[in-house]
Amino acid sequence: MGSMRDATPEYITVDGIRYEIRRNARRKNVALGVDNGSFFIAAPFRASREALASAIKQSGEELRKKLMRRPAAQAREHRYEEGELFYYRGEEYPLRFVRREGVYPLKLEDGAFLSFDGLDAEEIRHNFEVWYRLRLREIIQREFPAWCKRIGAAPRRVSLKNAKTLWGSCSSSGGVTFNIRLALVPPPLAEYVMIHELCHMAEMNHSPKFWAQVAKYCPDYAERRKELKTDGGKYRW
């Protein structure tokens, strides 16, 4: 397995609204969307920020109206309050506030997430992202090499990204990217994503041949894939 690096999300702000830029080398046109109450723009890899800003100005108003029509439950976000539940590997743990002690502002201990008292919501959210990123790195380093060996794939690099929708991706250059939110899902679902992306290294498509390869290593992939689609939205911090 190649080197592991973190992929930093890219954003652009237009008229006071922040959009995540989701670049894809195979995309030819831009497309705006709403994901879990947040805006994004899917764009060709080489599209300039000026071009993206222009596209947003042309279509952004309709998108904002669309967001306002979404049910409140779909846009609900964490408040980072005492007792609030957060996932790790499919299990929920309550958030508890403790006095500042030691160097780790957030840790999972004695069945609860322990956060330094006195932090604001954005600081706690950031600490969760850092904590989940570190845990996923550990999971990947511990579990991914065995699947690489079994499937016979050797990624040139592995990246971690805080993505809104995609759980993983595989590039034609041999890079594999995993969503940090995989640290929150049950282990069988994270395993399925690892297998899925490694199989893409041989088949860069979703053809019957690709799915046959996935089924070879994950016979119940259809159930795991369905669970990710159905319940994936709840695995957030």
* Contact in structure between 168 and 185 (CB atoms under 8 Å): no
Nearest to 48 by CA among 76, 20, 23, 78: 23
As a whole number of angstroms, the distance between CA 193 and CA 100 comes to 37
pLDDT tens digit sequence for 74-108: 435 788 999 999 999 999 999 999 999 888 999 99
As a whole number of angstroms, the distance between CA 196 and CA 210 comes to 9
As a whole number of angstroms, the distance between CA 68 and CA 120 comes to 26
Residues 158 and 133 in one domain: yes
As a whole number of angstroms, the distance between CA 104 and CA 119 comes to 13
CA distances, 83 to each of 59, 76, 134, 207 (Å): 40, 17, 23, 45
Residues 6+ apart with CB under 8 A from 188: 224
- Please report, for the domain that includes residue 181, its CATH number: 3.30.2010.10
Residues 54 and 90 in one domain: no
Residues 6+ apart with CB under 8 A from 191: 143, 147, 218, 224
Residues 30 and 115 in one domain: no
Residues 134 and 192 in one domain: yes
From 75, 96, 124, give the residue that closes a domain. Answer: 75
pLDDT tens digit sequence for 22-44: 888 777 788 887 765 677 888 88
Domain count within the chain: 2
* Contact in structure between 56 and 14 (CB atoms under 8 Å): yes
Which residue intervals of the chain are DSSP H helices?
A: 49-68, 121-151, 187-200, 208-217, 221-231
pTM of the model: 0.70
Residues 203 and 118 in one domain: yes
Does 40 map to a domain? yes
Comparing 94-103, 176-185, 189-198, 212-221, the range with the smallest average pLDDT is 94-103
* Contact in structure between 157 and 2 (CB atoms under 8 Å): yes
Does 127 map to a domain? yes
State the pLDDT at residue 230.
86
Dihedral sign of CA atoms 123, 67, 53, 29 in order = positive
Expressed as residue numbers, the domain containing 109 is 85-234
Strand partners of residue 35: 38
Comparing 52-66, 116-130, 171-185, the range with the smallest average pLDDT is 52-66
Does 80 map to a domain? no
Strand partners of residue 87: 92
